[in-house]
């Protein structure tokens, strides 16, 4: 079952993200870009990815969008893990810094997202993406809006 088509009513954010970790739910973007959630706790998540030539840009390295997607996902899921039942979120801003290029030999890469602060309506999160040798490839900060979900 994908997260996009599943009924998550009645689950708080941590339970939803834990369902992804267990494999009960799958986010289609993770399948498309070959990354998986490997750790979760309230306010913190870790993803592992395997960049391949399928995500190369025309100059022969991993496209920056691959790193940006992992970073956005990690920031978002860190916030998602703190949501109450009936809350949703969306990214308002993502600032990415690229520190080192990646190739198909960089992986597995790890991306850790943590919450810097969370209020009632806005959260701030940070993420770091490192290669197999622990070298920083990219980092990000994100501002996310928290909102009540509409009831059907």
Tell whether 67 is covered by a domain. Answer: yes
State which residues form the domain around 51.
13-148
Residue 5 resides in a domain: no
CATH number at residue 69: 3.10.129.10
Give a yes or no: residue 4 inside a domain: no
10-residue block means of pLDDT along the chain (152 residues)? 60 96 91 95 98 95 97 98 97 98 95 98 98 98 96 67
* Overall domain count for the chain: 1
List C-alpha distances in Å: 111 to 74, 122, 148, 152: 7, 22, 28, 35
Which pLDDT does position 27 carry in this prediction? 87
2 domain residue, yes or no? no
In a domain, 130, yes or no: yes
> Which pLDDT does position 21 carry in this prediction?
95
Is 3 part of a structural domain of the chain? no
- pLDDT for the residue 5: 46
- What pLDDT score was predicted for residue 26? 85
Cα gap 58→62, rounded to integer Å: 9
* 1 occurs within a structural domain: no
SS3 track for 91-127: EEEEEEEECCCCCCCCCCEEEEEEEEEECCCEEEEEE
So what's the pLDDT on residue 87?
Answer: 96
Report pLDDT for 152: 63
pTM of the model: 0.93
Q: Is residue 8 part of a domain?
A: no
- What is the pLDDT at residue 104? 94
């Amino acid at each position: 079952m994908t997260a996009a088509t599943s009924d998550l009513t009645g689950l708080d954010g941590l339970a939803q993200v834990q369902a992804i970790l267990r494999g009960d739910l799958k986010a289609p973007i993770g399948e498309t870009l070959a990354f998986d959630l490997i750790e979760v706790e309230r306010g913190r998540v870790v993803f592992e990815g395997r960049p391949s030539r399928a995500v190369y840009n025309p100059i022969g390295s991993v496209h920056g969008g691959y790193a940006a997607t992992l970073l956005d996902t990690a920031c978002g899921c860190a916030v998602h893990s703190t949501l109450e039942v009936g809350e949703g979120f969306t990214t308002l801003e993502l600032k990415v810094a690229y520190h080192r290029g990646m190739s198909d030999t960089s992986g597995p890469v790890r991306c850790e997202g943590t919450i810097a602060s969370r209020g009632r309506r806005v959260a701030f999160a940070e993420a770091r993406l490192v290669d197999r040798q622990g070298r920083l490839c990219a980092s990000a900060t994100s501002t996310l809006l928290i909102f009540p979900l509409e009831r059907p």
